[in-house]
Amino acid sequence: MNPFNFSGPSFLFFFLIVILVTNLALRAWQQRAEANLPTPKLDLSAPYRIAYLRGGAAEALKVTAFA
């Protein structure tokens, strides 16, 4: 039973199932892999640095003007 010999709707349904199974397997693998990682601690005391990382110099200037 070769999936490339399926007719149009059967072919699309087969690959939809393959995509869904692959997606679920990768999500489960990712959750299992990331479960043991420590949660990073973010330093929220530097709003200008965060603004620069978020949007560059223009975003840092907007935050500076707002503050």
Residues 32 and 44 in one domain: no
Residues 29 and 55 in one domain: no
Domain membership of residue 44 as a residue range: 40-67
Residue 38, SS3 per DSSP:
coil
Is the pTM above the cut of 0.75?
A: no
pLDDT in tens, 20-56: 999 999 999 999 998 888 888 877 788 888 899 889 9
Residues 54 and 27 in one domain: no
Per the CB < 8 A criterion, the answer to whether 52 and 60 are in contact is yes
Task: Give the span between the Cα atoms of 28 and 7, in whole angstroms.
Answer: 32
Residues 23 and 45 in one domain: no
Residues 22 and 44 in one domain: no
